Structure 1
């Protein structure tokens, strides 16, 4: 039941919103801090990623620079590693850590890491769920067509599933990155601690996104049940 314009189900989102705010602040502060700390070997993020890829036999994967900050990602459909300017050109601990993480995704793809394959297969339906679910839910609630609203909720579960399967993918990529950085001598022991802090801060943003998706799903379930 709703009282005026007050939506009591919003309480479901409060913990997720708080965590999301903390996670974003944490990654920005941690990345900025270690972006100012140059690595001893003086490798750029792009050079570190190239070494990791080559030593895993991934000579054919190009590394390209893209605009933005923390926009770094591995594109499995085109087999391209895309690094932001801060990461591509910088010799900082933060840049090398992020570059190694994205190289970790390329290694996952090459080895057929199952959670990554599942996540990739969920991308189309998750995109549909993200774009269409709210339209169906709002139309269903406005028109009193609860079957339509429940279909929207069902589509939104694909978004939740995508976020959940993203967690092991990201954690594993960070683990691979730290192993590669250590075994290939790209960062020294004290530097690895800094890179780990950056990757842990980045991982927290995925935890926050997952909690937000789950909280939103619970909220939508209660809204549609309340209207019934």
Structure 2
């Protein structure tokens, strides 16, 4: 069972710590600015609707979805879905998240290349994130089967690439959203935009943490593969 009880597991510790910190940071920052009302008095749903309309995307509905921080734009259905805190909320956090998801809708409408690339590799990346790890482990379990080991690494590499491509997509959506909030007068420049930016920056840390974990896991797999050859 060398894959689970190998000292190379220590390579993952920095990413594990970063992941826990990122999760704490996004939750604490979101909760903090969820209690700070925006001067505009608009809800996240109202802001998202206005932003979509202003960008000739009136055909994209804004729907309520259950859960906390479950907000997302669905490119297949072309629907923007907001969690209850964001949909009904009138806070800096609510407006910031709503504008971020609207930014994804704009990316899709304008054929933003990194988003198109991410969407195209999602099926195999989703497949490889679990199966790649399993095949790699089975390769070691069954006497060092190099075919399974290498196939696992290849499949997992698609997942790693997906996490890296996700970074510019998320950063760009946040930048678009903040610009729309400020330019449209939905948030006052200065403290209000700054508060929304802190919420989105904290959220971005979770994507950085995911990418860091994936990259270090791949490096660990490559190291174990190389050591087996030695």
8 Å Cα contact 2:2/2:140 also seen in 1: no
Residue 225 of structure 1: CA displacement? 2.2
Q: How high is the TM-score relative to the length of structure 2?
A: 0.95
Distance (Å, rounded) in 2 between the aligned partners of 1:168 and 1:185: 26
Unaligned runs of 5+ in 1: none
Q: Give the structure 2 partner of residue 216 of structure 1.
A: 217
Residue 191 of structure 1: CA displacement? 0.7
Distance (Å, rounded) in 2 between the aligned partners of 1:66 and 1:2: 43
Distance (Å, rounded) in 1 between the aligned partners of 2:88 and 2:225: 50
Secondary structure, in 3 states, of the residue corresponding to 2:60? coil
Distance (Å, rounded) in 2 between the aligned partners of 1:123 and 1:107: 19
Q: How high is the TM-score relative to the length of structure 1?
A: 0.96
Q: Give the structure 2 partner of residue 36 of structure 1.
A: 35
Paired residue total: 227
Give the RMSD, CA atoms, in angstroms: 1.4
Q: Deviations over 1:191-214 (max 9, x none)?
A: 111000000001111111100100
Dislocated runs of 4+, deviation >4 Å: none
Matched, 1:65 2:61: no
Q: Give the structure 2 partner of residue 147 of structure 1.
A: 147
Distance (Å, rounded) in 2 between the aligned partners of 1:6 and 1:210: 23
Distance (Å, rounded) in 1 between the aligned partners of 2:228 and 2:71: 42
Q: Give the structure 2 partner of residue 103 of structure 1.
A: 102
Residue 11 of structure 1: CA displacement? 1.4
Secondary structure, in 3 states, of the residue corresponding to 1:105? helix
Matched, 1:127 2:138: no
Matched, 1:197 2:193: no
Q: Give the structure 2 partner of residue 175 of structure 1.
A: 175
Residue 41 of structure 1: CA displacement? 1.1
Q: Give the structure 1 partner of residue 156 of structure 2.
A: 156
Q: Give the structure 2 partner of residue 14 of structure 1.
A: 13
Q: Give the structure 1 partner of residue 166 of structure 2.
A: 166
Residue 138 of structure 1: CA displacement? 1.8
Q: Give the structure 1 partner of residue 52 of structure 2.
A: 53
Deviates further, 132-141 or 153-162: 132-141
Unaligned runs of 5+ in 2: none
Residue 2 of structure 1: CA displacement? 5.2
Q: Give the structure 1 partner of residue 226 of structure 2.
A: 225
Q: Deviations over 1:128-176 (max 9, x none)?
A: 1013112211221111212111110110000000000000000000000
Distance (Å, rounded) in 2 between the aligned partners of 1:6 and 1:148: 19
